[in-house]
């Protein structure tokens, strides 16, 4: 058995992370989202290069106001995204405070805050362009 030096293992992990592509949002309707490569139907979801999961607001105490907190996007930021798209809901009821936008910019991430249908269109367009894009999407109000 061959054991690789730890620096090489770390380099391989970083390389794989940057080779993964962001999954396309396959469908969106009120209260339901599907992500390519996942069998899960999401109400609210987080997506990043190589994966997706339910966005459970209870994890960070998120509510429509004050809205999306830095803790809500931290996980996606840590996946090495260049751009993060935030879907505020079908009626844009979910707020995004300036502190969250500032947090993303401080980490060198472009941020787009849009109504969810528009956010999904923009996110998918960025995926098609090969951008390392992530997103957090609210699919109801």
pLDDT digits (tens, 9 = 90+) for 27-71: 999 999 999 999 999 999 999 999 999 999 999 999 999 999 999
Q: Which regions of 8-141 does DSSP assign to beta strands (E)?
A: 25-29, 32-35, 41-42, 44-48, 51-54, 83-87, 110-114, 133-138
* Residue 20 pLDDT level (bands cut at 50, 70, 90): confident
pLDDT of residue 19 exceeding 70, the answer is no
pLDDT digits (tens, 9 = 90+) for 79-136: 999 999 999 999 999 999 999 999 999 999 999 999 999 999 999 999 999 999 999 9
| CA gap 31, 44 in Å, rounded | 8
Q: Say if residue 66 is preceded by a cis peptide, omega within 30 of 0.
A: yes
22-137 CATH: 3.40.1230.10
């Amino acid at each position: 058995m061959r054991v690789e030096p730890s620096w090489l293992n770390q380099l391989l992990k970083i390389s794989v992370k940057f080779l993964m592509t962001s999954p396309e949002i396959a469908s969106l309707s009120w209260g339901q989202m599907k992500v390519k490569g996942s069998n899960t139907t999401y109400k609210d979801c987080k997506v990043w290069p190589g994966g997706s999961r339910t966005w459970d607001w209870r994890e960070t105490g998120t509510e429509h106001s004050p809205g999306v907190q830095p803790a809500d996007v931290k996980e996606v930021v840590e996946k090495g995204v260049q751009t993060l798209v935030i879907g505020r809901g079908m009626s844009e009821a979910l707020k995004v405070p300036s502190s969250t936008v500032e947090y993303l910019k401080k980490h060198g991430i472009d941020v787009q805050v849009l109504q969810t249908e528009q956010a999904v269109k923009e996110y998918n367009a960025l995926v098609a362009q090969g951008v390392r894009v992530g997103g957090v999407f609210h699919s109801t109000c």
